[in-house]
Chain A
Amino acid sequence: MYFLKRLAIGAVLILASWVAPASAGSPPIQLPDLGTNHSASVQSSAATAADALAQDAKCTRCHDENEAKPILSIYQTPHGVKGDARTPTCQSCHGPSEKHLAGDKTGKGIPPPDVMFNKHDYPKSAASDRSAICLACHEGTQRTHWDGSAHQVNGLACNDCHKVHSAVDPVRDRLTQAEVCMTCHKDRRVDIHKVSHHPIGEGKVTCSDCHNPHGSTGPYLLKKATVTETCTTCHAEKRGPFLWEHQPVVEDCTNCHTPHGSNIPPLLKSRAPFLCSECHDGPHASPSPFGAGVAGLQSTMSGFAASGGRAPSPSPVGAGRSCLNCHSMIHGSNSPAGAFLHR
């Protein structure tokens, strides 16, 4: 809390220094009049739609069904529901674009619209300008932490992931979202091919089930404040609290697991006993070096002193699930006799 207090003081000082008036950083936006009353009480949806389509017609008289990009598909999306007074028109997002509408007055070609979301005949607008258009309506809720988020500071804008004109936005479809994310996060395509993986490629788990790409207060853009809170949303059986807790489980599941995929089931970063040895050098056999014996290969050697002269390998301490052969309640135990996570 002391740090937070210092942080607050710092914030106030910086705020005081930011006395410069707001500059016109973004082009003017013609947003629908959201008003304070419900749209239906102001105007019928038919009239609302007629007005909106008339506005759109300024653009669709040229940009019609013959465009190489099927821009009219936007009428299959929430942005095309013209009976909803909140729905934007073309100019809400692309700006008034008066010079563009005026046509080629100088003989140098038609000037670009005020805001270009993708590079076609004109260069695309700055990411901050493109995002500002969307955030004018979509601020708050999941976008609360967009400003300063990892995707924003890496130069991304909303339409770098979303396809607003498409009938189905791939990043909002469970079956295709991962492919959009892996356009940049290429390491993940290796992970989801591994023998142990969350069913991301199968469309059963999506990136946005765990992450909020618009920004968050959690690590790795997680939707929840902590890794553990995120994981136990689905794996609620591991939430506890248990009578006997295991510190790395309580603090962060990724201490032992790698969530996207692993060569070591189940989604482990390493395998027992080596995984356990990264923290434990405690009782019985764990301080002993483990080599090929953990592979469970039988040996003709005798003299497993600790077991009264039985065949030495494979040892249940090192082979198979190793430590987890006995400490099977590794996520926590609620048995009064389970202090060592045996039961």
Chain B
Amino acid sequence: MKSVNGILSVKSLALAIMAILPLAALAQDDDVSILTRPTSFIEFGGLYADQNSAEFGQYNGLNKSRAYLLGNFSVRGGDAYGQGAGTSLWSIDGTDLGTTSRSLDATIRNQGKWTFGVSYDQLRHNIGDGDNYETPLQGSMGGNAFTMPAGFGVVSTASKPVAYGTQALTPAQQALFHKVDVHSDRDNSGFTFGYTFNPQWNVQFDWNHVEQSGAKLMAAATDKNSTSAGFALAGYSLGGESIQFIMNPTDYTTDNVDLALNWAGARAFFTAGYFGSRFRDHNQSVSFPNPFTGSNVANGTVLNGAYAVDALSTMPNNNFNQANFSGGYSLTPTTKLVGGYSYGRNTQNAGYVNQDQMAPGGLPVDSLRGRVIVTHYDLKLTNQTTKDLILSIGGNYNKRDNRTPSYTYDFLNLGSEQQTVVNIPLSYSTTQGALAADYRISGNQRLHAAYEYEKTSRWCNNALANNAQGELSATNAGYYTTASCVQIPRNVENKFVVNYRLDANDNLDFNAGYSFADRNATVNSSFYNPMQGNSEGFEDYGYRAFFDASRREHMLKAGANWQATQKLSFSLDGRGTYDDYTDSPLGVQQGHSASLNFDSTFAFSDKATVSAYASWQRRTRGLLSASGHNAVAPLPTTWTNDLADRGATVGFTAKRSGLMAGKLQLTADLSYSLDKTGYVTALNYTNASCTAPSSGGYSCGPVPEIRSALSRARLTANYAIDMKSTIAFGYIYEKLDSNDYLYNFYQTGFTSAIAMPTNQQSPSYTENVLFVAYRYSFR
């Protein structure tokens, strides 16, 4: 357990300033009352950020180039402090009050009797920054209805085989784009109350209310069949699967309630609780126009009639109510039995969005009547008869029983094809068991061994869902005959774990561990993917979803901590995994991960410390697929895709206190992180070209690397003016160099002819921040 301070290099203003205030006055005064009575403070000041950046301002509110108010305070009191005879304690705290990351909380308690608290926390998730998302759509951010601007006309999707870079939008259309500051806010209010009836019984109540507002960006494709009379009269035909990026409103309210009644006796304890969660979305749908037309329409033609309007559904209202019971009983002073049971009911019955154009056959029901029963059991027996041996055996069972009814829905897909699909309410359960022993080999060595078992079962509760294929395939005889709702109705995994720990001496400890897990999947080889219509096809023969396919996993880890001297310490640990998907002819074939971490701290004196750390990660995944549709036998036209994801962080922290007669403390935090993600696709079949796009427009080879390099420096000085006053001032530098090919697609002139550009950019920034704050401390 070696600690390296400053590893976070946090963005939080409160942490950037408050956490390192030396309170030098306190350090100089060792009066008992200073140690036993709380120190309150009020801190205010200013901060200036020199650049606009949504990414830098993510979660700290500093996304604009301007000055900000710094405000933090913490006031505490009560007659229990100072070795007093009372039992009351209270506190009021405020953090980052000048930004959109502000928080406030207050608590008061009469210890041993009751406690009461309220809290508020604000969090802004920046999506765009006024300079980062552009759209021609008219409609407010956070609203749910968008229209095209007058005179925008239609977007040409005509072929432009050579004049790339200028396709789709005319200068007049581009002039109608405007910038929108997109963000989603969470205002989180909390209330907590606890009451202790007596030393055995107490009750705890927590309520959390979250108001979300704003929007997030979402892709939305339009349906060429959702035409309007105006289009028909004008003689236009729409352009197919055309994509826009719309501001999907996050106008949500969530209320979570926790109520627990606790009892504790000499040999037993018990908790009975209730958890309730109520989610409400204040929009039922988001409507948006379709400005795309067929290729025969002149670019920029102004439409006389109304635009066709399409709609996305939004997240439906839902409720979750759960009763929880848990407890434990000491059979002997060294043998304990603990267990729990919970029963939850998750319901959803929001009315369906009215999309008559998309469901010309009408709806079987007006709402889902969704009902999921979630149950949980657990039981664990532990024994520690001697210090040399700890034994435990336990198991738990989780079940998601989806009792939502199934119906047949007729609708038009994005390609205007009529589909008949049955909804498939999925149920599953997991049964887990574990047997473990922790044995002390000698005074300084321990060995831990465990066996773990897990079985997952999946099913559907109604005959309609279980026979969702609806028909036998004439061309692929036998493929649909025994189709069920899932491809892998059952997994069973056996896992073996062994860990070794050695405390060589007071200054050196070592640990190592290995585990092996073997997961076997029962495959329904005639599975038909219910996520698509029959005419759309099904997964190729032998394709397995990685998360439930058969797999063998090896994990190896080791670590050591060494206190070389009283002033110098080192820590090194590493971990590696290897996954082999043993029964997947196609799909993920193998995965690998590795990590290394190194830390060192050197204390020059009790007033000067330097720490350094370095961490490295690497992860790979190998995928085998095949070109072709609806194969019922192995395909020879296979291709591979390999993922390599690498990350590294190095950091350095230095602290020096005691300067200027103990009044000045200096702190420096430096860190650099580099993350790179890449993919390589290779074709294994003959007559394949890796250098030129084929008729499908794709090729093999590597994609440009997704690269993010983050440099951070934070320099802070704290000067204690007197016993009560401290000034903190400092400088924060951050630079993010981000290169992500994702954003290529969003650029005007480079966007596909059937996608509306947004001109979003990779979130690179260089930010310089200066701050100064004054803290007044008092008791």
A23 in contact with B386 (CB, 8 Å): yes
Report the separation of the CA atoms of residues A233 and B206 in the bound assembly, to the nearest whole angstrom.
13
Asked if B428 contacts A192 (CB within 8 A), the reply is no
How far apart are the CA atoms of A306 and B31 in the complex, in Å? 82
- B741: contacting residue among A178, A287, A294, A307, CB under 8 A: A294
Query: Smallest Cβ distance from B373 to chain A, in angstroms?
Result: 11
Q: Which among B270, B310, B693, B703 has the highest number of chain A CB atoms within 10 Å?
A: B693
Residue of B nearest to A174 (CB): B103
> Does the CB pair A194–B675 fall under 8 Å?
yes
Considering only residues 219-256 of chain B, those with a C-beta below 8 Å from chain A are 219-221, 240-241, 243, 252, 254, 256
Q: Pick the contact of B164: A7, A160, A298, A326 (CB < 8 A).
A: A298
Say whether A139 contacts B269, CB under 8 Å: yes
Interface string of B1-29 (1 = CB under 8 A from A): 11111011111101100110000000000
B35 contacts A72, C-beta separation under 8 Å: yes
- Identify which of A70, A87, A147, A280 gathers the most chain B CB atoms within 10 Å of its CB: A147
Given contacts A49-B84, A82-B83, A277-B641, contact A22 B700 (CB under 8 A): no
- Min Cβ gap B613→A in Å is 7
Asked whether any CB of chain B lies closer than 8 Å to the CB of A106, the reply is: no
Say if the beta carbon of B69 comes within 8 Å of chain A: no
Chain A residues, CB < 8 A from B158: 310
What is the CB-to-nearest-CB distance from B102 to chain A, in angstroms, rounded to a whole number?
11
Counting from the closest, the 10 A-B pairs by CB-CB distance are: A140-B269, A320-B745, A302-B161, A312-B697, A148-B392, A296-B744, A337-B358, A296-B745, A335-B313, A237-B315
Contact A148 B380 (CB under 8 A): yes
**B141 contacts the other chain (CB 8 A):** no
In the complex formed, the residue of B with least CB distance to A33 is B199
Least distance between B611 CB and chain A CB atoms (Å): 12
A315 to B693, CA, bound (A): 11
Asked if B165 lies at the interface with its beta carbon under 8 angstroms from chain A, I say yes
1/0 per residue B201-232: CB within 8 Å of A?
Answer: 00000000010000000111100000000000
Q: Is chain A's binding surface mostly helix, strand, loop or mixed?
A: loop
A: interface residue count bin: 35 or more
Q: From residue 311 to 347 of chain B, which have CB atoms closer than 8 A to chain A?
A: 311-316, 318, 320, 326-328, 331-336, 338, 340, 342, 346
> Quick one: which of A148, A175, A326 contacts B390, CB cutoff 8 A?
A148
Measured between alpha carbons, how far is A85 from B30 in the docked complex, in Å? 28
- Given contacts A3-B395, A14-B381, A190-B649, could you give 14 more A-B pairs where the C-beta distance is less than 8 Å? A84-B80, A183-B1, A193-B9, A195-B763, A237-B315, A248-B545, A263-B706, A279-B545, A279-B587, A280-B545, A287-B628, A291-B699, A308-B295, A334-B368
Residues of chain B lying within 8 A (CB to CB) of residue A329: 312-313
Taking a contact as CB atoms under 8 Å apart, the answer to whether B35 and A281 are in contact is no
Are A340 and B413 within 8 A (Cβ)?
yes
- Output the least CB separation between A130 and chain B (Å): 12
Q: Which residues of B contact A303 (CB under 8 A)?
A: 161, 695
Out of A20, A140, A236, A302, name the residue touching B277 (CB < 8 Å).
Answer: A236
* Binary per-residue interface labels of chain B (343-362) against chain A in the complex, 1 for a CB within 8 Å, 0 otherwise: 00010101011010011000
Contact for B219 among A65, A70, A193, A328, CB less than 8 A: A328
17 pairs of residues in contact across A and B, judged by CB atoms under 8 Å: A35-B199, A65-B35, A72-B36, A128-B384, A140-B270, A175-B15, A176-B15, A199-B123, A232-B277, A263-B706, A274-B679, A291-B699, A320-B755, A321-B745, A334-B353, A334-B368, A337-B359
Residue B398 CB within 8 A of the other chain = yes
Size class of the contact patch on chain B: 35 or more
| A285 in contact (CB, < 8 A) | yes
In chain A, positions 210-237 with a C-beta closer than 8 Å to chain B are 217, 225-226, 229, 232-234, 236-237
**B588: Cβ under 8 A from any A Cβ:** yes
B546 in the interface (beta carbon within 8 A)? yes
* Contact of B328 with A139 in the complex, beta carbons under 8 Å: yes
A311 with B159: CB separation less than 8 A:
yes
A333 touches B615 (CB 8 A): no
State which residues 24-63 of B face A: CB under 8 Å: 30-32, 35-38, 55, 58-60
The A226-281 residues at the B interface (CB cut-off 8 A) are 226, 229, 232-234, 236-248, 250-252, 255, 263-264, 270-271, 274, 277-281
Given contacts A14-B393, A336-B409, contact A195 B752 (CB under 8 A): no
Q: Which residue of chain A has its CB nearest to the CB of B642? A: A274
Q: Is the CB of A281 within 8 A of B385?
A: no
**What is the distance, in angstroms, from B136's C-beta to the closest C-beta of chain A?**
18
Contact with A along B561-592 (1 / 0, CB 8 A): 00000000000010100000000001110000
